[in-house]
Amino acid sequence: MRNMIIATRNEGKVREIKGIFADLPYNILSMRDIGLDIHIEEDAPDFAGNSFKKAAEISKATGEIVLADDSGLTVEALGGRPGVYSARFAGENASDPENNELLLKLMQDVPLEKRRAAFKCVVTLYYPDGRYVQAEGTCPGRIGFEPKGEGGFGYDPLFILDAFGKTMAELAPEQKNAVSHRGLALKKLREMLMALENE
């Protein structure tokens, strides 16, 4: 069974991937599992570029198959911002509440019908021989006028899902995973991998 390194220290994300890839022939490990402490600057202009860079550099450092993702929020009224800067929208070490506060401030005069937004995620699976596959997931919705819900993280309390009419933070974890941008991207990647395994 081949190793697959997940380019994250987020154990929740690793558990999610293990669940989705449970029937695939990979031994899934986090960076913490292999004792790898490496910082990769996410300086690409889009999610696909950052995802690819993380996967490629960690694969070259370890000689293993590596899965990396990059994701964020795009808001139509803000010309697609915060985009790749989602985690540091209000500054380099900004907290989730600080990012949410800035987003609400910028959107304060935007009417409901113009508050369209989407969470986007691109996952890259990179092989040591240089081959790679990518998959994207998009979750449409709109930006609320105030935070709602206690669950989730990031912009979840402000992001109202079209499918539920509730914020991401108001959903149970299993509901969120069924429709989330990362969950959708990982399921697409899983289908691609199953096709490759059956060739």
Q: How far apart are CA 152 and CA 108, in angstroms?
A: 23
Contact 99, 155 (CB under 8 A): yes
| Cβ atoms < 10 Å from Cβ of 38 | 11
The answer to whether the peptide bond before residue 25 is cis (omega within 30 degrees of 0) is: no
Beta strand extents in 18-84 (DSSP E only): 26-30, 65-75
Contact 169, 149 (CB under 8 A): yes
Contact 120, 51 (CB under 8 A): no
Contact 71, 10 (CB under 8 A): no
- Cα torsion through 170, 152, 28, 137, rounded to 10: 70
Q: Is 82 helix (H, G, I), strand (E, B) or coil?
A: strand
Residues taking part in catalysis:
70
